[in-house]
Amino acid sequence: MTTNQHTTPLPTTHRWPEGAIVYQIYPRSIQDSNGDGIGDLPGVISRLDYLQELGVNAIWLSPFYPSPMADFGYDIADYCDVDPMFGTLDDCKRLIHEAEARHIKVMIDLVPNHSSNEHPWFKESRQSRDNPKANWYVWKDPHPDSTPGHPLPPNNWIDVFTGKSAWEWVPERKQFYLHSFHVAQPDLNWSNSEVRAAVKDVMRFWLDMGVDGFRVDAVYWIAKDPFFRNDPVNPAFDPKEDERYKMLTHVNSCGWPAAYAYLSELAHVLHEPAFAQKERFMVTEAYPKDGDAVAAYLAFYEGIDPQVAAPFNFQGLMLRWEAEPWRRFLRVFHHALESLNPLCVPSYAFGNHDKSRMVSRLGEKAARAAALMQLTLPGMVFVYYGEEIGMRDVPIPVDLVQDPEALGDPQGQGRDPERTPMQWTPGHQAGFSTSTETWLPIGPDYKTLNVEAEKDDPRSFYTLYRTLMALRNERESLRYGFVQVLELGHPDLVGYVRSYKDEYHVVLINFSDQPVTCVPGVKLHKFVVSSNPDANLTDGANGTVELLPYEAVLFTQ
Ligand code: FRU
């Protein structure tokens, strides 16, 4: 692993990712502008005013590139264009321009681990063992135990989606290719410098167009054991509970340290003089494996220049909604980051296109408390579309299931429930589309759970999110302040102070389903907001706060 030399002088002003509110857009599901039941880029443009009013500082667009859609755009057939389903390259340029006019940064999805099997690179690569792209993907001969006519995969690696062999036989080459995800997503060969150069050119193409950064997909998989040894069997695997992928412990098929060097190469592109007139940033997607999440996050900050890169922090998706693990994490993580390098930007995701929605995971009260917590934590905060109105997972009838992760499993829901169309109004298709059918069904609660209904309701999720976002945008201590975890002496409470210059805020969170009396031991001057619309808090002059079940509150001086 490379370490940062801290040679870059510390910036004198704050970089845009510090404190930024980033809104994740799943382009299929924001707004359909042409009545085909699928969201598109002109649809996104038409909703930029909404996002500006909500208070977001940046958007991350999930893939909109030409794709056979085997994995809904994460199988890319051309890295430098727009799928006609989503619009044109001109629409994309317009989107970047219109976003900039509203002071909204644009991050796009970079998917380096795999392309589509329909990408011209792969079509060429699969033809022979000696064409110019022959070594651009991960090709291997059959296992030596194979018998004539019965090629066996080179090792036991399995793919994320089916938990079956990650190797696919190609008769033209008499070799297998590796697909860590879908069979239609062949893994690019990152040990080949030509591949790395090609991906860097892709970045340059989009940076030239004006994007402010990248969300980099599935980065653990770009570096594998160079000897391609088997993954060990996972002794803790429970076939009744666990998905098949958990059968093995994936110590060889992904997560090798070369990933840091490869990602550093990408980070260097962001520093190139041609692009340095704007601050660019990338956020890498790697879920910490079992064990020490803090160490896993720190390895990325140490390995890739934190001036331009940060790993996603997935604790908001992974930790139980309990005080103790959160208290411990906040204390250890922020302390470690601070001592590592002041340039490090935390990046908290509490929802995304792969995980059950916050309200469905945590329940309504805790989801509101989690929103208050997320929007008062340091660094980038990633809000998945629809979370701001409290959207829930939508049950998908078996015959309407789309997600490749779910297909083949008769109970399969996969990731469709959290990808359903945004609920804008109580009208036709929730204001998402004029078509009679939408690519996934609209949530059954859309008549009451929608932007229009929530906008003027002081008790709504929308009002809570909008209030919190406005505060984050106004108050320097919420954007830039250090987080100091309080000793509250109660097992169900977490509290922290965010302070910057002479401004500070105090956050108190009750993780239990019971009311709790909290004596924070710091001055609580002005009560600002509670996650619970029934709260009846006043300024904390006497230093004691009665917190309702699952309530989070914010005070300031
Ligand atoms: C995150 C993800 C998935 C996608 C996979 C492969 O893990 O973005 O949504 O299916 O990576 O690209």
* Catalytic positions: 217, 272
In-domain check, residue 350: yes
Looking from the CA of residue 404, the nearest atom of ligand 1 is 10
CA distance 532 to 410: 39
Ligand 1: residue whose CA is nearest its atom 3: 354
For residues 488 and 458, state if they share a domain. Answer: no
Burial 228-246 (b: 16+ CB within 10 A, else e): eeebeeeeeeeeeeeebbb
Q: Coil, strand or helix: which one is 103?
A: coil
Yes or no: say if 154 and 228 are a contact pair by the CB < 8 Å rule. Answer: yes
For residues 249 and 280, state if they share a domain. Answer: yes
For residues 239 and 282, state if they share a domain. Answer: yes
For residues 321 and 347, state if they share a domain. Answer: yes
Would you place residue 539 in the very low, low, confident or very high pLDDT band (cuts 50, 70, 90)? confident
Would you place residue 253 in the very low, low, confident or very high pLDDT band (cuts 50, 70, 90)? very high
* pLDDT at residue 7 in the model: 47
Q: What is the CATH number of the domain that holds 502?
A: 2.60.40.1180
For residues 197 and 224, state if they share a domain. Answer: yes
Looking from the CA of residue 113, the nearest atom of ligand 1 is 12
Structure tokens at 73: 């755009």
Would you place residue 5 in the very low, low, confident or very high pLDDT band (cuts 50, 70, 90)? very low
Which structural domain range is residue 511 located in? 482-556
For residues 452 and 530, state if they share a domain. Answer: no
Greatest alpha-carbon span in the chain: 83
CA distance 231 to 235: 12
Task: For residue 537, report the distance from its CA to the centre of ligand 1, in Å.
Answer: 43
pLDDT for 169 beyond 50? yes
CA distance 81 to 94: 14
For residues 230 and 375, state if they share a domain. Answer: yes
CA distance 249 to 252: 8
pLDDT for 360 beyond 90? yes
In-domain check, residue 490: yes
Task: For residue 217, report the distance from its CA to the centre of ligand 1, in Å.
Answer: 6
Structure tokens at 319: 């930790």
Would you place residue 9 in the very low, low, confident or very high pLDDT band (cuts 50, 70, 90)? low
Q: What percent of the chain has pLDDT over 90?
A: 90
Residues 6+ apart with CB under 8 A from 437: 37
* pLDDT at residue 199 in the model: 98
Ligand 1 binding pocket (C-beta < 6 A) is 71, 74, 111, 181, 217-218, 285, 353-354
For residues 436 and 357, state if they share a domain. Answer: yes
Tally the domains of the chain.
2
For residues 491 and 458, state if they share a domain. Answer: no
For residues 489 and 379, state if they share a domain. Answer: no
Over residues 431-458, the mean pLDDT reads: 98
Beta bridge partners of 529: 554
pLDDT for 409 beyond 80? no
Structure tokens at 529: 């907001």
Q: What is the CATH number of the domain that holds 463?
A: 3.20.20.80
Over residues 307-318, the mean pLDDT reads: 97
Task: For residue 73, report the distance from its CA to the centre of ligand 1, in Å.
Answer: 9
Final residue belonging to a domain, choices 427, 443, 467: 467
Looking from the CA of residue 71, the nearest atom of ligand 1 is 10
Ligand 1: residue whose CA is nearest its atom 11: 218
Q: Which of 143, 58, 68, 66 lies closest to 107 in space, CA to CA?
A: 58
pLDDT for 475 beyond 90? yes
For residues 452 and 498, state if they share a domain. Answer: no
In-domain check, residue 427: yes
For residues 73 and 211, state if they share a domain. Answer: yes
| pLDDT tens by residue, 125-141 | 999 999 999 999 999 99
In-domain check, residue 94: yes
Residues 6+ apart with CB under 8 A from 228: 140, 154, 155, 157, 252
* pLDDT at residue 557 in the model: 79
Ligand 1: residue whose CA is nearest its atom 1: 218
| pLDDT tens by residue, 69-93 | 999 999 999 999 999 999 999 999 9
Beta bridge partners of 178: 167
pLDDT for 1 beyond 80? no
